[in-house]
Amino acid sequence: MPVVLSSKVVVSVKWQKETFPAVEIDTSQPPYVFKCQLYDLTGVPPERQKIMMKGGLLKDDADWSTLGVKEGQKLMMMGTADVVKAPEKGPVFMEDLPEDEQVIAVGHSAGLYNLGNTCYMNSTIQCLHSVPELKSALLKYTNSGRSNDVDILSHNLTIATRDLFSELDRSVKPVVPMPFLTVLRKKYPQFAQQHNGVYMQQDAEECWTQLMYTLSQSLKALESSDSTATVKTLFGVDIVSRIYCTESGEESSETESVYSLKCHISQEVNHLHEGIKRSLKSELEKTSPSLGRSAIYCKESCINELPRYLTVQFVRFFWKRESNQKAKILRKVDYPLELDVYDFCSDELRQKLQHPRKVLRDEEGIKLGLKGKKNSSAEGDDSKKAAAEGSSSLGESSNAPTQEAGKSEKKPHLTGIYDLVAVLTHKGRSVDSGHYVAWAKQENGKWVEFDDDSPVPQREEDITKLSGGGDWHMAYLCMYKARVAEI
């Protein structure tokens, strides 16, 4: 069994005129985590914190055991807090129009009414509701269509999701998601937790993952029906990992299917790309059969199959055992409108992506007027040959017809390039409080912020500013849509 070395030391921290009397240091974590806790408390980013310790300033990666911090010790921190500037709001150009004209002009669906601390749920719903393929899959799900291996509550939750999605589409006025919420709480009682008679705030990522899991189970039955995309082909990421122990030379591999990539956040991570890269490498401690004791194993993972909608979760919350609470890392981590995940793919998948990527680049080159028609049609011949040799058609991983089935018809192929279509943000300093909001790109290409019952149009350039570093809304989940090549 892994040996968990955990210990906590409670210290007091003085900063400017304030004193925080009981800050818990988890000495099994690097000092950087402690600095993140102080960031939560003070708003001073870790890189600007100066904390005096025996032997000088506290370094991010120092070893607590050599620093000799004692229970009750008084520490002093220097540093100035971030001045949080909210990005400029986009022009709310619709606000003077009457409501029905607004809906026609803006082209987005209705908002959701506040049912008391349910923003984790309505922001999840709004993000997933922006996926047309999921909507059409749900529309095919019938009240009597429950397969035997799906329990009644999963069935009811799927029906409730379907009905809520269509109500959102039909509605001009905000929708009250009560039937959905009732079934969600029945199926997953953790969302019914109360504190002093009030329903508690919940983690949107948990709601997202649970709902995704339920839908994938119940919609599986539809798989046989030709072109309906399954939740797996829409959102599932297949990961293959190599697990090895340098000490003993043992090596094994493991595959798993997940619904989101993780973006790990540490002091070196400034960008989504780096955060994903780090999360694909980890160390674990487990019993080595050949050594007969526990040893450190390295786990290196890569993507073996990509979905049409790729979700990335910023791992902003970490569990603090002592306080039985999730703490939040506020660090700014930028994310792009266009994400290329080629670097994270297995060799096998890269091979499949190569040709579609070339076709996509050529098409985009033509659009930009960078390439002459002649030139590209010559390359087009080459590409057909390459296509015949096998590239990754969406059909291979889904149930769409395969290449042979329709030779003349073009099929979409994944390229590993994705465009941002939805962002779920969290604002506030703890997972149990704060506020979740959804920012989703509508089918007409316009961005809308779904907060409370009134959706607000947004400018695309403001969407990537939700990257953290202060008290403003910051990205917690990002959903990207595959850019495909028609071959």
Residues making contact with ligand NAG (CB under 6 A): 111-112, 114-119, 122-123, 126, 152-153, 156, 186, 437-438, 450-452
Of 391 and 425, which CB lies nearer to ligand NAG in the complex structure? 425
Closest CA to 418 of 183, 237, 177, 208: 237
Candidate list 36, 108, 119, 264, residue with the active-site label = 119
Nearest approach, Cβ of residue 439 and ligand NAG (Å): 10
Give how far the C-alpha of residue 436 lies from the chain's centroid of Cα atoms, to the nearest Å.
Answer: 14
In the residue annotation, 119 being an active-site residue is answered as yes
Candidate list 195, 264, 271, 435, residue with the active-site label = 435
How far is the C-alpha of 68 from the C-alpha of 70, rounded, in Å?
6
In the residue annotation, 473 being an active-site residue is answered as no
Nearest approach, Cβ of residue 185 and ligand NAG (Å): 11
How far is the C-alpha of 141 from the C-alpha of 264, rounded, in Å?
36
| Contact of 107 with 172, CB cutoff 8 Å | no
Nearest approach, Cβ of residue 438 and ligand NAG (Å): 5
Query: Any residues with CB less than 8 A from the CB of 55 and at least 6 apart, and which?
Result: 67
Nearest approach, Cβ of residue 435 and ligand NAG (Å): 6
Strand partners, 10: 24
Quickly count: other Cβ atoms within 10 Å of residue 271's Cβ.
15
How far is the C-alpha of 362 from the C-alpha of 323, rounded, in Å?
55
Concatenated DSSP letters of 189-250: GGGG-EETTEEPP--HHHHHHHHHHHHHHHHGGGGGSTTPPPHHHHH-EEEEEEEE-TTT--
Nearest approach, Cβ of residue 303 and ligand NAG (Å): 30
Q: Which two tokens stand for residue 272?
A: 């989504």
Nearest approach, Cβ of residue 160 and ligand NAG (Å): 9
| Contact of 6 with 28, CB cutoff 8 Å | yes
Pairing of strands 309-314, 261-263: parallel
Active site residues: 119, 435
